[in-house]
Amino acid sequence: MVATTLQTPPTRQVPSDEPALKRRPHRLSPPGLPWILPALVLSVGLIYYCIGYTGVISTWDWDGISPNPEQVGLENYLKMVNSPVFWGAIWHTIVFFVVTFTAQTVLGLLFAVLLHSQVKLAVVYKVIVFVPVVLAPAIMAPVFRQFYGADGQFNWILEHIGLGAITQPWLGQSSTALWVLMAVAVWQWTGLTFVLYFAAMGQIDQSVLEAARIDGAGNIRTIVSIIWPGVRGTTVALAMLGAIGALKTFDLPWLITVGGPNGATEFLGTIIYRQTIPNYHVGYGAAVSIVLLVLALAMAILLQVRGREKVTVD
């Protein structure tokens, strides 16, 4: 299609404004502002308006309905930094990101490498690993509540593979509830990591791999020295997605553990929701939102900069 269009000679009448365009080369591209305006109004308009509004609300003591909110300055922020629940949520977010990102990277990479090898029925494995990505966390939450419950299938499996000694109510105690949520997140998102790595590995030059083989590199050596550096860009992108994903975690803790037990699975998202909607502390929720926003932006910038640095050093 590209070729045919290029070969078609301009047989039609040259438009009258063509000479004018030639004299002023910078006008060769027509003005584009009207084209980007709908996107700017919809996204930039709505989102920046909301961010600004959130900033204003965060200095109010407001229930979300009353017409005259009380100005309280930075009181909401002070309340926040003095709240152990807030710091607990920050800590859970960090643990959540580090653990799920590491696990997904290892598993996703392993699946991608294995399914690039001569494995039979590769499509079946692909579907099994990827299906969780398309299932809504909200739909799967009741399943996981049962699966990891005291008399759920997880304990049943443990008993039948000889690990009956470690069965416990995984969701009912604060020491294990966060781990269950992380396991669910890994279950849900490994498919995405896998598909992206799978595609990135397809781009690695086969001749480099063959050369390494001829030079005597084994399977492990090939992964560490050729494949892992080769998919670096994907890893950086996934790290960014993972960090922002950890910061916005809401569906899983809210639906599986409601932030409990004892606040053990509280995240910034669950705090914002609980304070804003059921508790009517809209001002406080807004203050936490602003912190979340700053953290998300900072993470994005940090990972972008670090990702670029490493690439140039290599």
**Tokens, residue 35:** 């084209």
Binding residues for other proteins restricted to 247-306, rule: CB under 8 A:
247-248, 250-251, 255, 268-269, 272-273, 276-277, 282, 285-286, 289-290, 292-293, 296-297, 299-300
- Ramachandran class of 263: left when φ > 0, alpha when ψ lies in -120 to 50, beta otherwise: left
* Min CB(78)–other proteins separation in Å: 18
Residue 114 binds other proteins (CB under 8 A)? yes
- Residue 85 burial (10 A CB sphere; 0-12, 13-18, 19+): middle
Please name the residue that has the structure tokens 């910038």: 301
- The residue type at 185: A
Binding piece for other proteins, criterion CB under 8 A, among 14-22, 163-171, 173-181, 256-264: 14-22
Binding mask 64-103 for other proteins (x = CB under 8 A): xx--------------------------------------
Residue 182 binds other proteins (CB under 8 A)? no
* Euclidean distance between CA atoms 246 and 104, whole angstroms: 13
Binding residues for other proteins restricted to 216-245, rule: CB under 8 A:
219, 222-223, 227, 234, 237, 244
Q: What is the largest CA-CA distance in the chain?
A: 86
* Min CB(251)–other proteins separation in Å: 5
Nearer to other proteins among residue 44 and residue 311 (C-beta): 44
* Euclidean distance between CA atoms 238 and 234, whole angstroms: 6
* Euclidean distance between CA atoms 62 and 280, whole angstroms: 8
Binding residues for other proteins restricted to 33-52, rule: CB under 8 A:
33-36, 38-40, 42-44, 46-51
Binding piece for other proteins, criterion CB under 8 A, among 73-81, 105-113, 164-172, 173-181: 105-113
Tally of CB atoms within 10 A around 78? 12
